[in-house]
């Protein structure tokens, strides 16, 4: 039974894995593909990669799939697509991210990841646009995520579910990405709740506790992906220097613009990495 929002994930009595399984059935029906190998979640700036990975064999609004939400934001395309790579691998491209700051709960945030797992995916590629703490990272720099600090205080795990997060962001996949672009740097991603950008003091705190990247996504999704047994590759596009690292105020427009400018270069990098998976 779903509640008045019509999303079955909002009913605490529903098993989120059953909803993910129903969503995977929807995807199989809408794509004609019953098993996907790789899933790719597109953050700000990474959208063009979908066209470069291979041949798109199906595109549809995410809202046609059980449990998916309407996109909250301009710059976040609410579509899913199935892409066939030259090597014959099936990639589920997720252009519909539900952010934690939307306040719909973690089940909805990680639903796309659980759906990908239910669709057979073993490799989860998570991308985002984020603020950079390292001074050497200019806006437009893509970096690998080496680890994360989850500052949301929340978790996709329900009950006493103890899972190991050592090597959460696979070293094997990071090394593979560096064979495509040896200049790729890496850093620790701090997921803040948002939607406000961080204060300079919060950015200093993130730096002090070992963070290099600040953002509002990815960590909760990575935890759900690990729970599902997937291997994870994480990429951040540094769209701006984090608050206080840059002296001028942050704006959402600046983030979107930096994403647009970097898009051709980072999308082609991402497509080459996915081609090598």
**Which chain residues interact with ligand HPA by CB under 6 A?**
129-131, 197-198, 214-216, 239-240, 242, 250, 255
- Region at 53 (left for phi over 0; alpha for psi -120 to 50; beta for the rest): alpha
Nearer to ligand HPA, 61 or 195 (CB): 195
Q: Report in angstroms how near the CB of residue 129 gets to ligand HPA at its nearest.
A: 5
Query: How far is Cα 110 from Cα 184, in angstroms, rounded to an integer?
Result: 27
**64 flagged as catalytic:** no
Q: Report in angstroms how near the CB of residue 106 gets to ligand HPA at its nearest.
A: 18
Nearer to ligand HPA, 8 or 129 (CB): 129
Catalytic option among 186, 198, 202, 221: 198
Nearest CA to 149 out of 94, 102, 233, 205 is that of: 205
* Cα dist from 40 to 4, 83, 112, 218, whole Å: 31, 10, 10, 12
Number of other CB atoms surrounding residue 137 within 10 Å: 23
Q: Report in angstroms how near the CB of residue 118 gets to ligand HPA at its nearest.
A: 29
* Beta-strand pair 123-132/231-241: parallel
Nearer to ligand HPA, 88 or 249 (CB): 249
Q: Report in angstroms how near the CB of residue 255 gets to ligand HPA at its nearest.
A: 4
Contacts of 223 (CB under 8 A, 6+ apart): 110, 150, 155, 156, 157, 163, 165, 168
Nearer to ligand HPA, 68 or 189 (CB): 189
- Active-site residues, by number, are 198
């Amino acid at each position: 039974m779903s509640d008045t929002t019509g999303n079955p994930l909002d009913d605490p009595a529903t098993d989120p894995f059953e909803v993910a399984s129903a969503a995977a059935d929807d995807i199989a029906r809408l794509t004609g593909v019953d098993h996907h190998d790789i899933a790719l979640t597109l953050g700000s700036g990474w959208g063009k990669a979908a066209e470069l990975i291979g041949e798109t064999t199906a595109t549809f609004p995410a809202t046609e799939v059980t449990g998916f939400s309407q996109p909250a934001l301009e710059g976040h395309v609410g579509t899913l697509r199935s892409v066939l790579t030259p090597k014959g691998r099936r990639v589920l491209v997720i252009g519909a991210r539900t952010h934690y700051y939307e306040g719909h709960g973690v089940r909805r945030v990680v639903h796309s990841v659980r759906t990908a797992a239910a669709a057979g995916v073993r490799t989860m590629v998570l991308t985002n646009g984020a603020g950079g703490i390292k001074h050497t990272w200019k806006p437009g720099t893509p970096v690998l995520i080496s680890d994360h600090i989850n500052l949301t205080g929340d978790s996709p795990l329900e009950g006493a579910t103890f899972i190991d997060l050592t090597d959460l962001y696979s070293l094997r996949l990071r090394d593979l990405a560096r064979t495509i672009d040896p200049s790729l740097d890496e850093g620790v991603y701090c997921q803040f709740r948002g939607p406000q950008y961080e204060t300079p003091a919060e950015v200093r705190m993130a730096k002090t506790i070992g963070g290099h990247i600040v953002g509002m996504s990815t960590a909760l999704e990575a935890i759900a992906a690990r729970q599902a047994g997937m291997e994870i590759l994480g990429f951040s596009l540094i769209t701006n220097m984090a608050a206080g690292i840059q002296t001028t105020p942050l704006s959402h427009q600046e983030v979107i613009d930096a994403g647009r400018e970097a898009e051709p270069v980072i999308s082609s990098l991402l497509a080459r990495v996915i081609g090598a998976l």
